[in-house]
Structure 1
Amino acid sequence: MMMGDTFGSSFANLFFLCATIQQIFPNDLKIAINEFLISTIQQLSFFQRFSDRFINFFSPYVVITFCEYEDYRYNHAFAAIETYLGAKATDKAKHLRASQNKDSKGLVLKRDETRVQDEYEGIRVWWETETDSIGFITLKLTFHRRSRDIVTNSYIKYVVEEGKSIEDKNKKMKLFTNNPSSHWGSSKTSLWRYIDFEHPANFDTLALEPKKKEEILNDLVAFSNGKDYYKKIGKAWKRGYLLYGPPGTGKSTMIAAMANLLNYSIYDLELTAIQNNSELRKLLTATSNKSIIVIEDIDCSLVLTGNRKKKESYWTRLRKDGQQGEEEEEEDKSFVTLSGLLNFIDGIWSACGQERIIVFTTNHLAKLDPALIRRGRMDMNIELSYCTFEAFKILAKNYLDLDSHPLFEKIESLIKETKIAPADVAEKLMKKNREIDADESLEDLVQALERRKMIQRDQVDEHKDKKSYKQLKAFRMLF
């Protein structure tokens, strides 16, 4: 009896304490005290059996959590909420985070508090940021249960829409690259890491024939405006581009120009960091809409099985320029198959996401499996070949601000007879001193073209001699 009386008395005291808390303390302090009391109650062996009932009885607060990733897929509601909370007024915040972009003169101040109070239609809610040991972030929303309908039916929707609106106004393109799958650890580990994408390339400065440039531009614009069309014909809203041609012909620059035209982020997919098709699907389904998924040098990246040494792509090098402390490259064993990649390009998994562009690049078109580049998978095959005179004129305008020059006629004749990449032409036209000497730059280019023409002619003659020698040797063997 005494034990029962003691328990009853303790229970009554605890109930009285909780009731007192509800009346006296401010809301944010009430939540903290209630959490402490609930955690204490859960430690008692008697209450562990009925913890849920007691917690619901003593705590009038409801908690909703928003994880950054769910089953390896990025939670876009999380991003919108985080943007919304970061944009809350900073005049009353006690902890602020300051940053400055390289092109900005002033500092940007944001809240840097783990707990933020918000008010909506007369009700108060509290947001809390929690970070686990591996850096994964969870947002926790706490509110009184009497406000459940308003919070779940309209407040959360309002926050997400406001956050997306702010993102659209301040949107910055990003350059992503995938973390090695061996470092994922658990479903909460980030699959992609990124830096801001600030490449200046655009179609106006792209060294390409005007007719081909216009064709590509029209295709990209039609794709970005084609939501209703793709829905009407029953196809996933995606498009594939294969860029092929010798090194230095502008494949990476073309991708950057595409991203800047459409305001899409870029996902540089390193197949060598993935171990199997299942991991490939997890990575690709974690990409966002309005993005360009890039696999450079597809003929070198995709091997059915075996050990492969990682090859650093242009985008990986660009990303590393913005980061420090990168881990050393190492050999990984990968079993990504061609069928696994094709299944995402135009199989069932291709519908997981909208408004995506897939770009493959290669220096050797003949090495690619026909199944990879057939129509329907790669919608446009774009050849980026050696520099033409039309492309040269664009480069001359970009680098020297010239529309015409007495040497243009000679350069046109040499370019027609010489194979030279636009990157090599641009290198000759680049400003070498503080003052641009157009005559000297063009003379350098003429000399480079003449040397290259001579080398290529000698190579052709040598090839002919070898071919003639083999034919003569074969003829002699007949007698």
Structure 2
Amino acid sequence: MIPDVELALCLGILPALVVARLLYKTSALRILLKFLQSLEERCYLCQSYKVPQFDENSRENQLYRKVSTYLESLPSLDDSDFTDLVSGARPNDVVLHLSRSQVVRDKFMGARLSWTNERAEEGLEGRAFVLKIRGKDRKRILQPYLQHIFQVSDEIQEKRKEARLFVNLGRGGSAADGSRQWGSVPLSHPATMDTVLMDVDQKNKVKADLEQFLKSKQYYQRLGRVWRRSYLLHGAPGTGKSTFAVAMAKFLGFDVYDLNLSGVRNDSDLKALLIQTTSRSVIVVEDLDRFFSTASGTSASVSGVLDFMDGIVSCCREEQIMIFTMTSREGVDAAAIRPGRIDVQINFPLCDLAMVKALAGTYLGVKEHKLFPQVEEAIQAGPGMSPAHVGELLLANKGSPSRALKAVIGAVQQAQVEARGKGEGAKAGEKLTGSRSGRSTDELGDSGSLFCRESVHTVREFRKLYGLFKLGSRRRDDSMDLGSIDLKEALTDKNDGPK
């Protein structure tokens, strides 16, 4: 009997070991565990919460972004059967992202939770995260769990410091029709406050002003003002206005909204764009002077842009920076740059010797050179060059500092010749116009006369002929008078002769 029992046990254990090995080596065990978890969740009453990507006004839901960042950090996302691989902000950086219809589980304060990535409700754009919590745990952990998500996502974003660049898509929609008008990419521009070319004192003043702005929320609220600050960057093309705007955004860690006014259909479209922006962002509007000079009824109006700058709609977001660029302030309505609409104005000049030396140090790696005095002499006598132009010349001749600086001197001298030629042409035209107008006035004595120069000469010739005619007639009269006097005298002498 004992051998039979042992045989029976062996025959029973061996299949069990084969099944266990099969379950361990394959995904059958995982499938079984997931089935049991799903069955357990169905047996409990659960409460669901949906976090949409956009609200009914097509504004981005900041909670959705925070939840997405938090879920990407969960270890359970690595153990999922499938997930999305998304490129990160840095080169060769890959981030795990919750895929469509994927379920990821989490634990918090002894409670089990699950997240699902689903399509948003009908009428809303984008996706939505769905959170499921057991009914008995809902009141106990919901608020602490959300605070935990905020804290973790903020810490991750602080480590990443990934800013994004938004551009208006030009679809011509509005906030009411649910269309999203901003598209975004990672802000990968390399400019920083340290690399931007600017006077050191002025740069430090701007940095101090930005830092003070970040700390002034309660101060702005006490004043009853919107927590926003506006900057006007004005200067010739190529002086670094756009680059400095990006450097300001990266210094603050804010997103950038690059607004193209030519892609705005009307004032309502402009308001919708502003509503869809977020806090902690920089709104950049370039070439504002060109818009004011060419504004027409086919796009946003001047009054619409002025309302965009400081109207009621501009109060929809706080902790924002607005940056406007202009080539020149001449001819721009004073209402557009008055205090309140523009808080700080920064001028970006053309290159002087200090800027050329700084560019030479960056592009060529030289701090002193024998050609610097000639560069200074050429710059002082010339109309000036933009830092972008000088930088391109130095970059094209980076292999030879002497050749690069000679190229700068030659370009400045060429600009001098062109400017001198234009100036002499303008002076010659003014001199010719002035001389003609002076002769007409001197000859006619009345600048409003309609006589031409040929008419004046004709009148003069006529006057000369008339004078000669009168002189000839006067001489004839005189000769006749003399003859009559002689005749009278002869007759008198004859009559008075000897009797």
Whether contact under 8 Å (1:267, 1:291) holds in the other structure is yes
1:428-467 paired onto structure 2 within 5 Å = 428-432=393-397, 436-467=399-430
Structure 1 residues 346 and 221: CA distance shift in structure 2, 3 A: same
1:132-154 deviation line (CA, Å, top 9, x unaligned): 59961111112222222124332
SS in structure 2 of the partner of residue 367 of structure 1 = coil
- Amino acid corresponding to residue 380 of structure 1 in structure 2: V
Cα distance in 2, alignment partners of residues 398 and 421 from structure 1 = 16
Pick the structure with greater CA Rg. 2
The higher-RCO structure (CA 8 Å, 6+ apart) is: 1
Among candidates 381, 405, 413, match of residue 369 of structure 2: 405
The aligned residue for residue 22 of structure 2 is none
1:277-317 deviation line (CA, Å, top 9, x unaligned): 3332222122222211011111333565433xxxxxxxxxx
Cα distance in 2, alignment partners of residues 394 and 110 from structure 1 = 44
SS in structure 2 of the partner of residue 266 of structure 1 = strand
SS in structure 1 of the partner of residue 193 of structure 2 = coil
Cα distance in 2, alignment partners of residues 161 and 273 from structure 1 = 38
1:112-131 paired onto structure 2 within 5 Å = 112=99, 114-131=102-119
SS in structure 2 of the partner of residue 391 of structure 1 = helix
Among candidates 14, 38, 50, match of residue 28 of structure 1: 38
Whether contact under 8 Å (1:128, 1:139) holds in the other structure is yes
Q: CA deviation at 1:384?
A: 1.5
Paired residue total: 402
- Amino acid corresponding to residue 442 of structure 1 in structure 2: L
The aligned residue for residue 420 of structure 1 is 385
Q: CA deviation at 1:232?
A: 3.5
Structure 1 residues 66 and 220: CA distance shift in structure 2, 3 A: same
Q: CA deviation at 1:412?
A: 0.8
Whether contact under 8 Å (1:174, 1:195) holds in the other structure is yes
Whether contact under 8 Å (1:207, 1:392) holds in the other structure is no
1:90-169 paired onto structure 2 within 5 Å = 90-100=77-87, 104=91, 107-112=94-99, 114-131=102-119, 136-169=126-159
Cα distance in 2, alignment partners of residues 406 and 444 from structure 1 = 14
The reply to whether residue 395 of structure 1 matches residue 380 of structure 2 is no
SS in structure 2 of the partner of residue 401 of structure 1 = coil
Structure 1 residues 354 and 183: CA distance shift in structure 2, 3 A: closer
1:322-367 deviation line (CA, Å, top 9, x unaligned): xxxxxxxxxxxx3x23333333432333332222111111223223
The reply to whether residue 385 of structure 1 matches residue 371 of structure 2 is no
- Amino acid corresponding to residue 65 of structure 1 in structure 2: K
Whether contact under 8 Å (2:58, 2:125) holds in the other structure is no
Cα distance in 2, alignment partners of residues 61 and 30 from structure 1 = 11
SS in structure 2 of the partner of residue 181 of structure 1 = coil
Q: CA deviation at 1:187?
A: 5.2
Among candidates 15, 39, 46, match of residue 61 of structure 1: 46
Structure 1 residues 123 and 183: CA distance shift in structure 2, 3 A: same
Whether contact under 8 Å (1:120, 1:155) holds in the other structure is yes
Whether contact under 8 Å (2:274, 2:314) holds in the other structure is no
Cα distance in 1, alignment partners of residues 364 and 352 from structure 2 = 17
Structure 1 residues 183 and 350: CA distance shift in structure 2, 3 A: closer
The reply to whether residue 194 of structure 1 matches residue 184 of structure 2 is yes
Cα distance in 2, alignment partners of residues 377 and 284 from structure 1 = 16
**Once superposed, what is the RMSD of the aligned Cα atoms?**
2.8
- Identity, % of aligned pairs? 29
Q: Which has the larger displacement, 148-157 or 99-108?
A: 99-108
Structure 1 residues 29 and 212: CA distance shift in structure 2, 3 A: same
Whether contact under 8 Å (1:80, 1:161) holds in the other structure is no
1:42-84 deviation line (CA, Å, top 9, x unaligned): xxxxxxxxxxxxxxxxx83322111111122221111101111
- Amino acid corresponding to residue 413 of structure 2 in structure 1: E
- Amino acid corresponding to residue 423 of structure 1 in structure 2: A
Whether contact under 8 Å (1:119, 1:125) holds in the other structure is yes
The aligned residue for residue 283 of structure 1 is 273
Whether contact under 8 Å (1:399, 1:431) holds in the other structure is no
Structure 1 residues 185 and 404: CA distance shift in structure 2, 3 A: same
The aligned residue for residue 470 of structure 2 is none
Whether contact under 8 Å (1:387, 1:421) holds in the other structure is yes
SS in structure 2 of the partner of residue 201 of structure 1 = coil
The aligned residue for residue 239 of structure 1 is 229
The reply to whether residue 83 of structure 1 matches residue 64 of structure 2 is no
Among candidates 220, 227, 238, match of residue 230 of structure 1: 220
Q: Which has the larger displacement, 96-105 or 352-361?
A: 96-105
The aligned residue for residue 468 of structure 1 is 431
- Amino acid corresponding to residue 67 of structure 2 in structure 1: I
Scaled by the length of structure 1, what TM-score is found? 0.76
Structure 1 residues 151 and 279: CA distance shift in structure 2, 3 A: farther
Structure 1 residues 457 and 74: CA distance shift in structure 2, 3 A: same
- Amino acid corresponding to residue 430 of structure 1 in structure 2: L
SS in structure 1 of the partner of residue 413 of structure 2 = helix
Cα distance in 1, alignment partners of residues 111 and 89 from structure 2 = 41
Cα distance in 2, alignment partners of residues 417 and 222 from structure 1 = 41
